């Protein structure tokens, strides 16, 4: 296997043979195959190696807000909250930027790698491409549209990443505010399974049980899960990092909004926070439609099961896990959270 070194100090390992077969089973294939980012072994499309150094080198601005999550952990919900708090706290419906889809006004730094997929049509990039052509004349799409757009967007920038904290700029927690959202791993798996089936970059064809075991083994895109969460959890006392969970947001969104208001230094009123809570509620966001272009979805799966906004509930895992699989994931969770403090927070002590 060939390897290369990233600016972050991590090593990129290009998969081949049996290793490549394990992680690509049931997925629409990425043109560049897959890589693992060592030492933790994060699994990404092969083209990711091209983008990570660019992302690591993005010039940070003091009022930047970075949202970092493992996929399907409440990302879109929190992304909309953060963008509204930064750019439209009055929730003005006439705000021109609000007419753009969320992924166009708030860059996902981890999205470019998904376009390197045989199942993703060119039309899925339309809204992102229009903004890229307008704001980045003469630049090349293959160098990363979201990355290059992020560099030219005006402040305050709200940027999202599914890449873990360690793969981002080493000065991130010194210069910027970082919000990290985690989720009950069982519910994350159910939502992630649906996402893997509905997006054309996945078109996943295997059973939920096979998917869940692949995630636990770190043999699915974006995995492994625990190093991603625990890197942020260990920084929870850093004054520039706010750690919360999807479950906390569902239990008391106003409490989370008040904490974010203080963390970000926004000084918004209680009335403004209530407007934001209402505007970013599951039903409101679902009514406004998908945050990305519809061409990115497998329409048959979307028609049957919905898209990014599916149920928006806690505890849906009970409809998916057999007793045997639930026992496996319980052991997996306990083994990874023991003694971290998360075991207490999630009731696994």
pLDDT of residue 314: 66
Cα distances (Å, whole numbers) of residue 310 to 184, 250, 329? 17, 15, 23
Task: Quote the radius of gyration of the chain (alpha carbons, Å).
Answer: 19
Q: For residues 276-306, b (16+ Cβ closer than 10 Å) or e, as one string?
A: bbebbeeeebbeeebbbbeebbbeebbeeee
Buried b (16+ CB within 10 A) or exposed e, 177-186: bbbbbbbbbb
Cβ–Cβ under 8 Å, residues 98 and 191: no
pLDDT at 126: 82
Total domain count, the chain: 1
pTM score over 0.85: yes
Whole-angstrom CA distances from 112 to 29, 64, 130 are 15, 20, 15
* pLDDT for 69: 96
Bridge partner residues of 3 (DSSP)? 13
How many Å apart are CA 55 and CA 66, to the nearest integer?
A: 12
Mean pLDDT by 10 residues, the chain (349 residues): 83 86 71 90 91 93 95 91 92 82 86 80 79 92 92 91 94 96 92 77 75 91 94 96 95 96 96 93 69 56 52 69 91 92 79
* φ, ψ of residue 329 in degrees (nearest 5): -75, -30
Which residues are 161's β-sheet partners? 68
The DSSP secondary structure of 6-19, one letter per residue, reads -TTS-EEEE--HHH
SS3 content of the chain, % helix, strand, coil (to 5): 50, 10, 40
- Give residue-wise pLDDT tens across range 109-164: 988 888 887 777 677 788 888 899 999 999 999 899 999 999 999 888 999 999 99
CATH code, domain with 260? 3.40.50.300
Phi, psi dihedral angles at 236 (to 5 degrees) = -60, -20
The pLDDT value recorded for residue 273 is 96
Strands 34-38 and 11-14: antiparallel
Please, which residues bridge with residue 13 across strands? 3, 36
Which pLDDT belongs to residue 307?
A: 47
Q: Look up the domain containing 250 and give its range.
A: 3-345
């Amino acid at each position: 296997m060939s390897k290369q070194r990233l600016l972050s100090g991590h090593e990129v390992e290009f998969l081949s043979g049996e290793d490549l077969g394990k992680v690509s089973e049931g997925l629409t294939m990425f043109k560049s195959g897959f890589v693992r980012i060592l030492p933790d072994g994060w699994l990404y499309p092969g083209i990711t190696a091209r983008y990570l150094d660019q992302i690591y080198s993005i010039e940070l601005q003091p009022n930047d807000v970075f949202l970092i999550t493992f996929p399907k952990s409440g990302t879109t919900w929190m992304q909309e909250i953060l963008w509204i708090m930064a750019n439209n706290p009055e929730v003005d419906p006439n705000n021109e930027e609000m007419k753009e889809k969320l992924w166009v006004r708030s860059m996902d730094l981890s999205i470019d790698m998904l376009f390197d997929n045989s199942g993703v049509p060119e039309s899925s990039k339309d809204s992102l491409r229009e903004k890229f052509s307008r704001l980045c004349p003469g630049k090349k799409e293959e160098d990363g549209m979201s990355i290059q757009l992020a560099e030219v967007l005006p402040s305050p920038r709200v940027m999202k990443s599914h890449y873990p904290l360690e793969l981002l700029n080493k000065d991130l927690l010194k210069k910027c505010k970082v919000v990290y959202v985690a989720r009950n791993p069982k519910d994350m798996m159910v939502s992630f399974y649906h996402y893997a089936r509905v997006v054309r970059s996945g078109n996943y064809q295997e059973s939920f049980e096979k998917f869940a075991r692949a995630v636990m083994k770190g043999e699915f895109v974006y995995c492994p899960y625990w190093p991603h969460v625990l890197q942020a959890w260990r920084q929870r006392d850093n004054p520039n990092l706010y750690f919360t969970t999807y479950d906390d947001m569902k239990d008391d969104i106003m409490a989370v909004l008040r904490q974010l208001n203080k963390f970000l230094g926004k000084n918004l009123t209680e009335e403004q926070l209530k407007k934001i809570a209402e505007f970013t509620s599951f039903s409101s966001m679902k009514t406004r439609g998908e945050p990305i272009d519809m061409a990115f979805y497998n329409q048959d799966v979307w028609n049957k099961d919905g898209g990014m906004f599916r149920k928006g509930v806690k505890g849906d895992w009970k409809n998916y896990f057999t007793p045997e699989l639930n026992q496996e994931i319980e052991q997996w969770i306990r083994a990874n959270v023991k003694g971290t403090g998360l075991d207490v927070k999630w009731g696994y002590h």
